[in-house]
Amino acid sequence: ETGVTQSPTHLIKTRGQQVTLRCSSQSGHNTVSWYQQALGQGPQFIFQYYREEENGRGNFPPRFSGLQFPNYSSELNVNALELDDSALYLCASSLGGVGYTEAFFGQGTRLTVV
């Protein structure tokens, strides 16, 4: 149990729709990052938020956007869903930039786009 919770656990959406995934960080952590994991692959970095500001982004199009709130919870929004967006979405919280210290991952949201 890492203290990082994600909701929902599973989601089915239709191509073209929009989706919002939520993450509640571990208490005291000021940094949250989001990852996309396709089946059989390792997680791919989407973006990172530090104190409510995006401070890093991977190779994902602008239709992937996010928010971090004052209580350090976070959202990942994906617009105009495509079939290839079907994946496990993971959030990770840490104190400071992930990679410098241990990152705590949630259990993920399994998104299926049909």
Using the contact rule CB under 8 A, the part of the chain among 12-20, 45-53, 62-70, 76-84 near other proteins is: 45-53
Distance of closest approach, residue 33 Cβ to other proteins, in angstroms: 5
Token pair in block for residue 38 = 């396709």
CB 40 within 8 A of CB 31: no
Binding of other proteins at residue 45 (CB under 8 A)?
A: yes
Nearer to other proteins, 17 or 50 (CB): 50
Q: Considering only residues 25, 74, 93, 105, which one is a binding residue for other proteins as defined by CB under 8 A?
A: 105
